[in-house]
Amino acid sequence: MDRSYDDEDEMKGEKKDKARFEFECPECNAHNPYHDGFSLGSEVLCFYCGQEFKVTESDGRWKYKPL
């Protein structure tokens, strides 16, 4: 089972190296703000369920793969 997350809010034409400042957890759907931001290749943590994710990119969209 592929539990990767396809970020529905990905904007067409967005630069791949652009930082993001929030994400929706694919496990518990909680909104997670990151004041320092994160980019592709980063590891992010859901502050609600505690699951960690590696931020990757596929087909021009950001995905969050569980670690």
- The 10s digit of each residue's pLDDT in 53-64 is 999 999 989 999
Residues 6+ apart with CB under 8 A from 42: 54, 55
> Taking a C-beta distance cutoff of 8 angstroms, is the pair 41, 59 a contact?
no
Q: For residue 56, what pLDDT is reported?
A: 96
- The 10s digit of each residue's pLDDT in 5-17 is 555 444 444 445 5
